[in-house]
Amino acid sequence: MEQIKQNKMGIAPIPKLIVSMSLPAMFSMLVQALYNIIDSMFVAQLGESALTSVSLAFPVQTLMIAVAVGTGIGINSLVSRRLGERRREEASRAATHGLLLAIFSSLVFALLGLTLTQTFFQAFTDNQTVLQMGCDYTYVVTIFSFGMMIEIGLEKTLQATGNMIYPMLFQLSGAVINIILDPIFIFGKFGVPALGVRGAAVATVIGQIASMVFAVVVIIVKKHEVHISFRNFKFKWRTVKEIYAVGFPSIIMQSIMAFLVTMLNTILISFSEAAVSVLGVYYKLQSFVFMPVFGLTHGVLPIIGYNYGAGNKKRLLSALRLGTLIAACIMTVGTVLFLAIPDKLLMIFNASPQMLEIGVPALRIISICFIPAAVDILFSTFFQGVGMGFKSLIVSIMRQLVVILPAAYLLSKIGLGYTWYAFPIAEVVSLVLGGIFFWTTYRSKIRNLRPISD
Protein backbone atom coordinates (compact mmCIF):
# COMPACT_ATOMS: atom_id res chain seq x y z
CA MET A 1 0.00 0.00 0.00
CA GLU A 2 3.04 2.29 0.12
CA GLN A 3 2.48 3.87 -3.27
CA ILE A 4 -1.21 4.55 -2.57
CA LYS A 5 -0.42 6.16 0.77
CA GLN A 6 2.16 8.44 -0.79
CA ASN A 7 -0.21 9.78 -3.44
CA LYS A 8 -2.81 12.24 -2.19
CA MET A 9 -5.38 10.92 -4.67
CA GLY A 10 -5.61 7.75 -2.59
CA ILE A 11 -5.86 9.23 0.91
CA ALA A 12 -6.89 12.93 0.98
CA PRO A 13 -10.53 13.83 1.82
CA ILE A 14 -12.44 13.96 -1.46
CA PRO A 15 -13.94 17.49 -1.09
CA LYS A 16 -10.56 18.99 -0.23
CA LEU A 17 -8.87 16.92 -2.94
CA ILE A 18 -11.27 18.01 -5.69
CA VAL A 19 -10.98 21.65 -4.68
CA SER A 20 -7.18 21.57 -4.49
CA MET A 21 -6.83 19.71 -7.80
CA SER A 22 -9.59 21.48 -9.72
CA LEU A 23 -9.22 25.12 -8.68
CA PRO A 24 -5.89 25.68 -10.47
CA ALA A 25 -7.27 24.14 -13.67
CA MET A 26 -10.57 26.03 -13.34
CA PHE A 27 -8.74 29.29 -12.84
CA SER A 28 -6.48 28.73 -15.82
CA MET A 29 -9.46 27.69 -17.95
CA LEU A 30 -11.28 30.89 -16.94
CA VAL A 31 -8.27 32.85 -18.14
CA GLN A 32 -8.36 30.84 -21.38
CA ALA A 33 -12.05 31.70 -21.76
CA LEU A 34 -11.27 35.35 -21.07
CA TYR A 35 -8.60 35.19 -23.77
CA ASN A 36 -11.13 33.73 -26.24
CA ILE A 37 -13.48 36.60 -25.56
CA ILE A 38 -10.82 39.32 -25.67
CA ASP A 39 -9.36 37.87 -28.88
CA SER A 40 -12.75 38.03 -30.58
CA MET A 41 -13.38 41.53 -29.18
CA PHE A 42 -10.25 42.78 -30.94
CA VAL A 43 -11.12 40.93 -34.15
CA ALA A 44 -14.68 42.32 -34.06
CA GLN A 45 -13.21 45.84 -34.20
CA LEU A 46 -11.98 45.00 -37.70
CA GLY A 47 -15.57 44.51 -38.86
CA GLU A 48 -18.22 41.79 -39.15
CA SER A 49 -16.36 40.13 -42.05
CA ALA A 50 -13.36 39.59 -39.76
CA LEU A 51 -15.59 38.10 -37.07
CA THR A 52 -17.23 35.83 -39.65
CA SER A 53 -13.86 34.63 -40.96
CA VAL A 54 -12.68 33.68 -37.46
CA SER A 55 -16.05 32.00 -36.80
CA LEU A 56 -15.58 29.90 -39.94
CA ALA A 57 -12.05 29.01 -38.81
CA PHE A 58 -13.34 27.91 -35.39
CA PRO A 59 -13.96 24.26 -36.44
CA VAL A 60 -10.35 23.93 -37.61
CA GLN A 61 -9.05 25.13 -34.26
CA THR A 62 -11.55 22.88 -32.50
CA LEU A 63 -10.22 19.89 -34.43
CA MET A 64 -6.63 20.66 -33.44
CA ILE A 65 -7.61 21.07 -29.80
CA ALA A 66 -9.60 17.82 -30.05
CA VAL A 67 -6.52 15.86 -31.09
CA ALA A 68 -4.30 17.54 -28.48
CA VAL A 69 -6.72 17.23 -25.57
CA GLY A 70 -8.01 13.79 -26.58
CA THR A 71 -4.49 12.39 -26.71
CA GLY A 72 -3.77 14.13 -23.41
CA ILE A 73 -6.84 12.59 -21.78
CA GLY A 74 -5.67 9.17 -22.94
CA ILE A 75 -2.27 9.84 -21.38
CA ASN A 76 -3.88 11.17 -18.19
CA SER A 77 -6.16 8.16 -17.80
CA LEU A 78 -3.41 5.60 -18.45
CA VAL A 79 -0.80 7.30 -16.24
CA SER A 80 -3.19 7.78 -13.30
CA ARG A 81 -4.39 4.16 -13.51
CA ARG A 82 -0.83 2.83 -13.63
CA LEU A 83 0.11 4.94 -10.62
CA GLY A 84 -2.93 3.62 -8.75
CA GLU A 85 -1.75 0.09 -9.61
CA ARG A 86 1.76 0.98 -8.36
CA ARG A 87 3.34 0.52 -11.82
CA ARG A 88 5.44 3.68 -12.01
CA GLU A 89 7.74 2.53 -14.80
CA GLU A 90 4.80 1.88 -17.10
CA ALA A 91 3.33 5.26 -16.15
CA SER A 92 6.58 6.95 -17.20
CA ARG A 93 6.65 4.99 -20.46
CA ALA A 94 3.11 6.17 -21.24
CA ALA A 95 4.16 9.80 -20.63
CA THR A 96 7.14 9.47 -23.00
CA HIS A 97 4.98 7.95 -25.71
CA GLY A 98 2.54 10.84 -25.21
CA LEU A 99 5.21 13.42 -26.05
CA LEU A 100 6.03 11.61 -29.30
CA LEU A 101 2.36 11.47 -30.24
CA ALA A 102 2.03 15.23 -29.66
CA ILE A 103 4.96 15.96 -31.99
CA PHE A 104 3.58 13.68 -34.68
CA SER A 105 0.11 15.28 -34.44
CA SER A 106 1.56 18.77 -34.97
CA LEU A 107 3.35 17.64 -38.13
CA VAL A 108 0.10 16.23 -39.53
CA PHE A 109 -1.77 19.49 -38.92
CA ALA A 110 1.01 21.58 -40.44
CA LEU A 111 0.73 19.52 -43.63
CA LEU A 112 -3.08 19.69 -43.69
CA GLY A 113 -3.02 23.43 -43.06
CA LEU A 114 -0.68 24.05 -45.98
CA THR A 115 -2.66 21.96 -48.46
CA LEU A 116 -6.35 22.22 -47.52
CA THR A 117 -7.01 25.62 -45.93
CA GLN A 118 -8.12 27.49 -49.04
CA THR A 119 -10.35 24.64 -50.20
CA PHE A 120 -12.02 24.56 -46.77
CA PHE A 121 -12.99 28.25 -46.83
CA GLN A 122 -14.09 28.19 -50.47
CA ALA A 123 -16.69 25.62 -49.46
CA PHE A 124 -18.44 28.22 -47.28
CA THR A 125 -18.05 31.62 -48.86
CA ASP A 126 -17.31 33.45 -52.09
CA ASN A 127 -16.77 36.70 -50.18
CA GLN A 128 -13.12 37.37 -51.02
CA THR A 129 -12.53 39.45 -47.90
CA VAL A 130 -13.81 36.73 -45.58
CA LEU A 131 -11.93 34.10 -47.60
CA GLN A 132 -8.59 35.90 -47.40
CA MET A 133 -8.90 36.71 -43.70
CA GLY A 134 -9.88 33.14 -42.87
CA CYS A 135 -6.96 31.67 -44.80
CA ASP A 136 -4.48 34.12 -43.25
CA TYR A 137 -5.61 33.10 -39.78
CA THR A 138 -5.76 29.36 -40.38
CA TYR A 139 -2.38 29.01 -42.11
CA VAL A 140 -0.64 30.41 -39.03
CA VAL A 141 -2.47 28.40 -36.34
CA THR A 142 -2.10 25.08 -38.17
CA ILE A 143 1.53 25.37 -39.31
CA PHE A 144 2.67 26.38 -35.82
CA SER A 145 0.42 24.02 -33.85
CA PHE A 146 3.37 22.21 -32.24
CA GLY A 147 3.36 24.61 -29.28
CA MET A 148 -0.20 23.75 -28.33
CA MET A 149 0.17 20.01 -28.97
CA ILE A 150 3.29 19.53 -26.86
CA GLU A 151 2.16 21.81 -24.02
CA ILE A 152 -1.19 20.05 -23.63
CA GLY A 153 0.48 16.62 -23.63
CA LEU A 154 2.87 17.64 -20.86
CA GLU A 155 0.10 19.38 -18.94
CA LYS A 156 -2.10 16.26 -18.91
CA THR A 157 0.86 14.13 -17.84
CA LEU A 158 1.48 16.26 -14.75
CA GLN A 159 -2.23 16.39 -13.93
CA ALA A 160 -2.28 12.59 -13.88
CA THR A 161 0.22 12.65 -11.01
CA GLY A 162 -1.95 15.03 -8.99
CA ASN A 163 0.16 18.11 -9.83
CA MET A 164 -2.27 20.85 -10.85
CA ILE A 165 -0.22 23.97 -10.12
CA TYR A 166 2.28 23.76 -12.97
CA PRO A 167 -0.40 22.93 -15.58
CA MET A 168 -2.26 26.03 -14.39
CA LEU A 169 0.86 28.14 -14.78
CA PHE A 170 1.50 26.72 -18.26
CA GLN A 171 -1.95 27.78 -19.44
CA LEU A 172 -1.84 31.13 -17.66
CA SER A 173 1.49 32.09 -19.18
CA GLY A 174 0.31 31.34 -22.71
CA ALA A 175 -3.04 33.10 -22.29
CA VAL A 176 -1.55 36.24 -20.70
CA ILE A 177 1.11 36.53 -23.40
CA ASN A 178 -1.61 36.06 -26.02
CA ILE A 179 -3.81 38.79 -24.52
CA ILE A 180 -0.88 41.22 -24.35
CA LEU A 181 0.23 40.55 -27.93
CA ASP A 182 -3.23 40.63 -29.55
CA PRO A 183 -3.61 44.42 -29.92
CA ILE A 184 0.09 44.77 -30.79
CA PHE A 185 -0.07 42.43 -33.77
CA ILE A 186 -3.68 43.08 -34.85
CA PHE A 187 -3.56 46.90 -34.89
CA GLY A 188 0.19 47.48 -35.12
CA LYS A 189 1.89 49.02 -32.08
CA PHE A 190 5.46 49.62 -30.88
CA GLY A 191 6.78 49.45 -34.43
CA VAL A 192 5.05 46.16 -35.25
CA PRO A 193 3.08 46.33 -38.55
CA ALA A 194 -0.71 45.98 -38.32
CA LEU A 195 -1.47 42.39 -39.38
CA GLY A 196 -5.24 42.37 -38.82
CA VAL A 197 -6.76 38.90 -38.43
CA ARG A 198 -3.39 37.30 -39.16
CA GLY A 199 -2.02 39.22 -36.17
CA ALA A 200 -4.52 37.48 -33.89
CA ALA A 201 -3.18 34.13 -35.10
CA VAL A 202 0.45 35.21 -34.63
CA ALA A 203 -0.29 36.29 -31.05
CA THR A 204 -1.99 32.95 -30.42
CA VAL A 205 0.89 30.76 -31.58
CA ILE A 206 3.51 32.86 -29.79
CA GLY A 207 1.56 32.38 -26.55
CA GLN A 208 1.31 28.63 -27.21
CA ILE A 209 5.01 28.25 -27.95
CA ALA A 210 5.97 30.23 -24.85
CA SER A 211 3.72 27.98 -22.76
CA MET A 212 5.33 24.90 -24.34
CA VAL A 213 8.84 26.13 -23.53
CA PHE A 214 7.79 26.71 -19.91
CA ALA A 215 6.37 23.18 -19.71
CA VAL A 216 9.48 21.58 -21.19
CA VAL A 217 11.72 23.42 -18.71
CA VAL A 218 9.58 22.28 -15.77
CA ILE A 219 9.58 18.66 -16.97
CA ILE A 220 13.37 18.68 -17.30
CA VAL A 221 14.32 20.64 -14.15
CA LYS A 222 11.75 19.55 -11.54
CA LYS A 223 11.21 16.12 -10.00
CA HIS A 224 7.92 14.37 -10.75
CA GLU A 225 6.30 11.04 -10.03
CA VAL A 226 6.68 10.09 -13.68
CA HIS A 227 9.74 10.75 -15.84
CA ILE A 228 9.84 11.48 -19.56
CA SER A 229 13.09 10.06 -20.86
CA PHE A 230 14.37 8.62 -24.14
CA ARG A 231 17.29 6.83 -22.49
CA ASN A 232 16.84 3.11 -23.27
CA PHE A 233 13.42 4.02 -24.65
CA LYS A 234 11.61 1.43 -26.75
CA PHE A 235 8.58 2.46 -28.73
CA LYS A 236 5.68 0.09 -28.06
CA TRP A 237 2.51 0.05 -30.10
CA ARG A 238 0.74 -1.55 -27.15
CA THR A 239 1.27 1.61 -25.09
CA VAL A 240 -0.04 3.75 -27.96
CA LYS A 241 -3.06 1.47 -28.18
CA GLU A 242 -3.70 1.85 -24.45
CA ILE A 243 -3.46 5.65 -24.70
CA TYR A 244 -5.87 5.81 -27.60
CA ALA A 245 -8.29 3.29 -26.08
CA VAL A 246 -9.45 6.31 -24.07
CA GLY A 247 -7.87 9.09 -26.13
CA PHE A 248 -9.28 8.22 -29.55
CA PRO A 249 -12.93 8.25 -28.44
CA SER A 250 -12.21 11.58 -26.75
CA ILE A 251 -10.66 12.91 -29.97
CA ILE A 252 -13.71 11.79 -31.92
CA MET A 253 -16.00 13.35 -29.32
CA GLN A 254 -14.30 16.71 -29.58
CA SER A 255 -13.82 16.43 -33.34
CA ILE A 256 -17.53 15.98 -33.61
CA MET A 257 -17.76 19.52 -32.25
CA ALA A 258 -15.71 20.74 -35.21
CA PHE A 259 -17.98 18.85 -37.60
CA LEU A 260 -21.06 20.10 -35.74
CA VAL A 261 -20.04 23.76 -36.01
CA THR A 262 -19.15 23.28 -39.68
CA MET A 263 -22.58 21.81 -40.42
CA LEU A 264 -24.38 24.43 -38.33
CA ASN A 265 -22.51 27.14 -40.23
CA THR A 266 -23.74 25.53 -43.45
CA ILE A 267 -27.32 25.75 -42.18
CA LEU A 268 -26.99 29.29 -40.81
CA ILE A 269 -25.15 30.82 -43.79
CA SER A 270 -28.33 30.26 -45.81
CA PHE A 271 -29.98 32.86 -43.58
CA SER A 272 -27.14 35.41 -43.25
CA GLU A 273 -23.50 35.94 -42.31
CA ALA A 274 -24.82 37.56 -39.12
CA ALA A 275 -26.32 34.22 -38.07
CA VAL A 276 -22.88 32.58 -38.48
CA SER A 277 -21.33 35.36 -36.41
CA VAL A 278 -23.92 34.80 -33.67
CA LEU A 279 -23.01 31.11 -33.49
CA GLY A 280 -19.31 32.01 -33.32
CA VAL A 281 -19.94 34.56 -30.56
CA TYR A 282 -22.07 32.02 -28.66
CA TYR A 283 -19.19 29.54 -28.56
CA LYS A 284 -16.87 32.27 -27.29
CA LEU A 285 -19.35 33.27 -24.56
CA GLN A 286 -20.25 29.74 -23.51
CA SER A 287 -16.58 28.96 -23.04
CA PHE A 288 -16.70 31.25 -20.02
CA VAL A 289 -19.29 28.88 -18.53
CA PHE A 290 -18.04 25.54 -19.84
CA MET A 291 -14.29 26.11 -19.36
CA PRO A 292 -14.50 26.10 -15.52
CA VAL A 293 -16.44 22.83 -15.74
CA PHE A 294 -13.77 21.35 -18.00
CA GLY A 295 -11.19 22.60 -15.50
CA LEU A 296 -13.14 20.78 -12.81
CA THR A 297 -12.99 17.55 -14.82
CA HIS A 298 -9.20 17.92 -15.07
CA GLY A 299 -9.13 17.52 -11.31
CA VAL A 300 -11.82 14.84 -11.10
CA LEU A 301 -10.51 12.60 -13.91
CA PRO A 302 -7.22 11.53 -12.29
CA ILE A 303 -8.99 11.03 -8.94
CA ILE A 304 -11.47 8.66 -10.59
CA GLY A 305 -8.73 6.91 -12.58
CA TYR A 306 -6.42 6.51 -9.59
CA ASN A 307 -9.10 5.17 -7.24
CA TYR A 308 -10.50 2.88 -9.91
CA GLY A 309 -6.99 1.47 -10.40
CA ALA A 310 -6.65 1.15 -6.60
CA GLY A 311 -10.07 -0.53 -6.31
CA ASN A 312 -11.52 2.16 -4.01
CA LYS A 313 -15.21 2.32 -4.96
CA LYS A 314 -16.24 4.73 -2.21
CA ARG A 315 -13.72 7.41 -3.16
CA LEU A 316 -14.42 6.99 -6.87
CA LEU A 317 -18.18 7.54 -6.44
CA SER A 318 -17.68 10.39 -3.97
CA ALA A 319 -15.52 12.20 -6.52
CA LEU A 320 -18.18 11.72 -9.19
CA ARG A 321 -21.04 12.95 -6.97
CA LEU A 322 -19.27 16.05 -5.72
CA GLY A 323 -17.90 16.88 -9.17
CA THR A 324 -21.39 16.70 -10.66
CA LEU A 325 -22.80 18.98 -7.96
CA ILE A 326 -20.11 21.61 -8.48
CA ALA A 327 -20.53 21.47 -12.26
CA ALA A 328 -24.31 21.94 -11.96
CA CYS A 329 -23.81 25.01 -9.75
CA ILE A 330 -21.45 26.58 -12.29
CA MET A 331 -23.87 25.90 -15.12
CA THR A 332 -26.74 27.40 -13.13
CA VAL A 333 -24.86 30.69 -12.89
CA GLY A 334 -24.23 30.60 -16.63
CA THR A 335 -27.88 29.94 -17.37
CA VAL A 336 -28.98 32.92 -15.28
CA LEU A 337 -26.53 35.24 -17.08
CA PHE A 338 -27.57 34.10 -20.55
CA LEU A 339 -31.25 34.49 -19.69
CA ALA A 340 -30.89 37.88 -17.99
CA ILE A 341 -28.42 39.90 -20.09
CA PRO A 342 -27.96 38.34 -23.55
CA ASP A 343 -27.93 41.77 -25.22
CA LYS A 344 -25.10 43.03 -23.03
CA LEU A 345 -23.11 39.86 -23.69
CA LEU A 346 -23.47 40.31 -27.44
CA MET A 347 -22.47 43.96 -27.33
CA ILE A 348 -19.07 42.89 -26.01
CA PHE A 349 -18.43 41.98 -29.66
CA ASN A 350 -19.81 45.19 -31.21
CA ALA A 351 -22.94 43.30 -32.31
CA SER A 352 -24.85 44.87 -35.19
CA PRO A 353 -28.62 45.38 -34.90
CA GLN A 354 -29.11 42.25 -37.01
CA MET A 355 -26.84 40.22 -34.72
CA LEU A 356 -28.78 41.46 -31.68
CA GLU A 357 -32.10 40.56 -33.27
CA ILE A 358 -30.87 37.02 -33.96
CA GLY A 359 -28.61 36.57 -30.96
CA VAL A 360 -30.73 37.64 -27.96
CA PRO A 361 -33.36 34.88 -28.34
CA ALA A 362 -30.66 32.42 -29.47
CA LEU A 363 -28.61 32.79 -26.28
CA ARG A 364 -31.69 32.44 -24.09
CA ILE A 365 -32.86 29.28 -25.84
CA ILE A 366 -29.46 27.57 -25.93
CA SER A 367 -28.80 28.28 -22.24
CA ILE A 368 -31.58 25.85 -21.33
CA CYS A 369 -29.12 23.05 -22.09
CA PHE A 370 -26.40 24.16 -19.65
CA ILE A 371 -27.48 22.27 -16.52
CA PRO A 372 -28.12 18.92 -18.30
CA ALA A 373 -24.73 19.44 -19.98
CA ALA A 374 -23.05 19.56 -16.56
CA VAL A 375 -24.21 16.02 -15.79
CA ASP A 376 -23.32 14.82 -19.30
CA ILE A 377 -19.78 16.15 -18.96
CA LEU A 378 -19.23 14.42 -15.61
CA PHE A 379 -20.61 11.15 -16.98
CA SER A 380 -18.04 11.39 -19.78
CA THR A 381 -15.30 12.08 -17.25
CA PHE A 382 -16.34 8.99 -15.30
CA PHE A 383 -16.25 6.76 -18.39
CA GLN A 384 -12.80 8.10 -19.35
CA GLY A 385 -11.48 7.64 -15.81
CA VAL A 386 -12.40 3.95 -15.71
CA GLY A 387 -10.97 3.33 -19.19
CA MET A 388 -14.30 3.13 -21.05
CA GLY A 389 -13.93 6.04 -23.44
CA PHE A 390 -16.10 4.32 -26.04
CA LYS A 391 -19.23 5.00 -23.97
CA SER A 392 -18.34 8.69 -23.86
CA LEU A 393 -18.00 8.56 -27.62
CA ILE A 394 -21.47 7.07 -28.08
CA VAL A 395 -23.08 9.71 -25.87
CA SER A 396 -21.29 12.51 -27.75
CA ILE A 397 -22.29 11.12 -31.12
CA MET A 398 -25.90 11.19 -29.95
CA ARG A 399 -25.51 14.78 -28.74
CA GLN A 400 -23.63 16.24 -31.65
CA LEU A 401 -24.60 14.19 -34.67
CA VAL A 402 -27.55 11.86 -34.32
CA VAL A 403 -29.82 14.36 -32.54
CA ILE A 404 -28.65 17.94 -32.87
CA LEU A 405 -27.91 18.18 -36.59
CA PRO A 406 -31.15 16.61 -37.85
CA ALA A 407 -33.06 18.64 -35.27
CA ALA A 408 -31.32 21.87 -36.34
CA TYR A 409 -31.94 21.15 -40.00
CA LEU A 410 -35.63 20.34 -39.54
CA LEU A 411 -36.23 23.26 -37.18
CA SER A 412 -34.49 25.66 -39.59
CA LYS A 413 -37.22 24.83 -42.10
CA ILE A 414 -39.68 26.45 -39.72
CA GLY A 415 -37.47 29.48 -39.20
CA LEU A 416 -34.05 30.64 -37.95
CA GLY A 417 -35.37 31.29 -34.43
CA TYR A 418 -36.41 27.65 -34.01
CA THR A 419 -33.00 26.27 -35.02
CA TRP A 420 -31.51 27.03 -31.60
CA TYR A 421 -33.91 24.60 -29.85
CA ALA A 422 -31.81 21.76 -31.26
CA PHE A 423 -29.25 22.39 -28.48
CA PRO A 424 -31.47 21.65 -25.45
CA ILE A 425 -33.22 18.78 -27.26
CA ALA A 426 -29.88 17.05 -27.93
CA GLU A 427 -28.62 17.62 -24.38
CA VAL A 428 -31.68 16.03 -22.77
CA VAL A 429 -31.46 12.96 -25.01
CA SER A 430 -27.75 12.68 -24.14
CA LEU A 431 -28.52 12.93 -20.43
CA VAL A 432 -30.92 10.00 -20.58
CA LEU A 433 -28.46 7.86 -22.55
CA GLY A 434 -25.56 8.79 -20.26
CA GLY A 435 -27.61 7.76 -17.22
CA ILE A 436 -28.34 4.36 -18.76
CA PHE A 437 -24.65 3.83 -19.59
CA PHE A 438 -23.61 4.86 -16.09
CA TRP A 439 -25.96 2.34 -14.50
CA THR A 440 -24.76 -0.52 -16.71
CA THR A 441 -21.11 0.41 -16.07
CA TYR A 442 -21.73 0.60 -12.34
CA ARG A 443 -23.27 -2.88 -12.27
CA SER A 444 -20.53 -4.45 -14.41
CA LYS A 445 -17.37 -2.69 -13.20
CA ILE A 446 -17.95 -0.65 -10.04
CA ARG A 447 -20.43 -2.41 -7.77
CA ASN A 448 -18.07 -5.28 -6.92
CA LEU A 449 -14.87 -3.24 -7.03
CA ARG A 450 -12.39 -4.24 -4.32
CA PRO A 451 -9.10 -2.64 -3.14
CA ILE A 452 -5.97 -4.16 -4.63
CA SER A 453 -3.99 -6.44 -2.31
CA ASP A 454 -0.59 -5.56 -0.95
**Per residue in 4-35, pLDDT tens?**
345 666 667 788 888 888 887 787 777 777 77
CA neighbor of 290 nearest in space, from 374, 348, 225: 374
Name every residue whose Cβ is closer than 8 Å to that of residue 88 and which is 6 or more positions away in sequence: 3, 82, 225, 226
Report the C-alpha gap between 101 and 334 in whole angstroms: 35
- Asked if residues 186 and 46 have their Cβ atoms less than 8 Å apart, the reply is yes
Q: Which pLDDT value is given to residue 111?
A: 95
pTM comes to 0.70
| Angle between the N-to-C axes of helices 237-268 and 404-414, in degrees from 0 to 180, rounded to the nearest 10 | 0
Q: Which pLDDT value is given to residue 41?
A: 80
Q: Which pLDDT value is given to residue 339?
A: 95
Q: Which pLDDT value is given to residue 87?
A: 76
pLDDT in tens, the chain (454 residues): 344 345 666 667 788 888 888 887 787 777 777 777 777 788 888 887 888 888 788 888 888 988 998 888 888 888 877 777 777 777 878 888 888 999 999 999 999 999 999 898 888 778 888 888 989 999 999 999 999 999 998 888 888 877 778 888 888 888 889 889 989 999 988 888 889 889 989 999 999 999 999 999 988 887 777 777 777 778 888 888 888 888 887 788 778 777 888 889 889 988 888 888 899 889 888 888 888 898 888 788 888 888 887 778 888 888 899 999 999 999 999 999 999 999 999 988 888 889 899 999 999 999 999 999 999 889 888 888 887 777 877 887 887 788 999 999 999 999 999 999 999 999 999 999 989 999 988 888 888 777 765 4
Q: What is the pLDDT of residues 141-167, one digit of tens each?
A: 999 999 999 999 888 888 887 777 888
- Asked if residues 212 and 177 have their Cβ atoms less than 8 Å apart, the reply is no
Q: Which pLDDT value is given to residue 426?
A: 92
Report the C-alpha gap between 297 and 320 in whole angstroms: 10
- Asked if residues 91 and 306 have their Cβ atoms less than 8 Å apart, the reply is no
Task: Give just the sign of the alpha carbon dihedral 168, 95, 149, 298.
Answer: negative
- Asked if residues 250 and 78 have their Cβ atoms less than 8 Å apart, the reply is no
Question: What one-letter code names the amino acid at 41?
Answer: M
Report the C-alpha gap between 172 and 150 in whole angstroms: 16
Q: Which pLDDT value is given to residue 206?
A: 94
CA neighbor of 241 nearest in space, from 441, 75, 68: 75
Q: Which pLDDT value is given to residue 7?
A: 64
